[in-house]
Structure 1
Amino acid sequence: MAEHYPVLKEAEPFYFEGNRTGILVIHGFTGSTQSMLGLGEAYAKKGYTVCGPRLKGHGTHYHDMELTTYTDWIASVEEGYQRLKEKCQTIFVTGLSMGGTLTLYMAENHPDIQAIIPINAAIDLPDMAALNNISEPRFLDAIGSDIKKANVKELAYEKTPLRSVKEIVKLMEKVKSGLYKIQCPALIFVSTEDHVVPPGNSQTIFDFICSKEKQLIRLENSYHVATLDNDKDLIIEKTLQFINSK
């Protein structure tokens, strides 16, 4: 499926060449790489090789997104992972929201991943699951920009395709059922107040993964898009400490 709209400014994929430790950085559902670029730049400054893929159908127009499936989004992430594999000996994966879901997917399917850092990851959204059996309306309200910090906006779609909601529900079901496969170290970030993904999702992830080393860090001063919010620097600091310890 070819995309019909140009990539928006600030929604382009990014890649920073660095050392032989790679970090795959994944944005969320209806969002764009803009939400993860600040983290990517911070990790690149420390010498890491960083890849931030643009998920297919994202960062252009919601009409493009409507035509994609969750397997397209997985393929976008796999492509970024393979790019890092060509250069790096060790790979870490981090992601926000559905990017966190895809982070978990990668850990379930690539046991060689060194460690993961999901941020407000989604595995169970009852409100979205409830839409599975309806066919109207074609487009729902936007879910982007759930940010506590004043005057900060996420580059995300102004509408959410119903078909895409059904796709993320399939992805979440797939990932949730495979959490037991994850054994790599995990640093899990969760906002205590999140109007998109209930914070209980992160506790479930913590409880069901089989990692011997796992930690749950609560973000007290950010909403869903924590990577653009008040706790952004805390996420960067704790993630770098975590990566440096591996």
Structure 2
Amino acid sequence: MIQDSSYFLPGNRNGVLLIHGLTGTPNEMRILAKGLHQAGFTVYAMQLAGHCGDEADLCQTTWHDWYTSVQEAAQFLQQHVDCLFVAGLSMGALLALKLAADQPELIKGVGVYGVTFSYDGWSIPFWAKQFFGLLPLLKKFHLFQKTSFIEKPPYGLKDERIRATVAASMFSGDSASAGLAGNPFPALAEMQTLAKQMRRQLPQVTAPCLIMHSGHDDIANINTNARLVEKQVSGATRFVVLDDSYHLITIDRQRREVINQSVAFFENIAQST
């Protein structure tokens, strides 16, 4: 059964919508949410459609459903703020960029954390790097639809203590706390389709973008993912390379750096609007 794990932290008239990643939960944005809130921002960490349940719940949704839930969350937060920012982790960053591309008059800035167009980091097996691009086609023909890609260590985390805690929650079946242990092929296929769509839309992003990515990302290589955003968006960019984290930068060793950079970036824009 799907639980509602989203949370709203009221603050000033500057709001940040936070979007988690594929098979993830709003919990992976909680430390960042608290940091932004302590700096005065109103924060809404939303839950993507189909998430925080089981694999069957997730597989009943498409990327359109995920994006619709983002649009609805933005509408909710818009009622409480005058200046709206959006930030996402991994696939959440793709959805954040899409919202900025589709509603340039609404979104004043974007936080792009560990953005993932391609699963091509150093921990991804060679076969998977080649195979994942075929998933939309396989889904079209209803092939391998009961299969999942099971993550292996380091699970996007360089901090071993946090990694152990997250892994224990993930494999206990508590998907509302730490997300799913497996990535179902149908969901991965939907993400591939979303990534293809977003590649085309990057030039439509006119809002300033804070791009933060690990130089040692185990899931998404910095050069083929974050650098793509830097090169293709039309808005101004600030690019920050993290050297002591893996993929989940919002909860890994440099989570405080993510908070500090985000607060400074969003405050600077809010003060100039």
Structure 2-normalised TM-score?
0.83
Taking the aligned partners of 1:192 and 1:177, their CA distance within structure 2 comes to 25
1:142–1:157 contact (8 Å) kept in structure 2 = no
Could you tell me which residue of structure 2 aligns to residue 64 of structure 1? 57
Deviation string, structure 1 residues 108-143 (Cα, Å, up to 9, x no partner): 001021110110112234732133333126222234
Could you tell me which residue of structure 1 aligns to residue 174 of structure 2? none
Deviation string, structure 1 residues 73-122 (Cα, Å, up to 9, x no partner): 00111111001111111011111000100111011001021110110112
Deviation string, structure 1 residues 9-46 (Cα, Å, up to 9, x no partner): xx710111111111000000111111001111111112
Describe how 1:79-90 pairs up with structure 2 within 5 A. Answer: 79-90=72-83
Could you tell me which residue of structure 1 aligns to residue 245 of structure 2? 222
2:136–2:190 contact (8 Å) kept in structure 1 = no
| Higher relative helix content | 2
* 2:213 maps to which of 179, 190, 193: 190
SS of equivalent residue, structure 2 residue 241: strand
Q: Percent identity?
A: 25
Structure 2 residue 142 is matched with structure 1 residue 142: no
Could you tell me which residue of structure 1 aligns to residue 162 of structure 2? 152
* 2:110 maps to which of 97, 116, 127: 116
RMSD: 1.5
Matched AA of 1:96: L
Could you tell me which residue of structure 1 aligns to residue 133 of structure 2? 129
Contiguous gaps of at least 5 residues in structure 2? 121-128, 167-177
Taking the aligned partners of 1:226 and 1:165, their CA distance within structure 2 comes to 21
Deviation string, structure 1 residues 186-226 (Cα, Å, up to 9, x no partner): 11001111121121200011000111x21110011111111
Structure 1-normalised TM-score?
0.92
Paired residues in the alignment total: 238
Taking the aligned partners of 2:15 and 2:238, their CA distance within structure 1 comes to 21
SS of equivalent residue, structure 2 residue 78: helix
Could you tell me which residue of structure 2 aligns to residue 207 of structure 1? 231
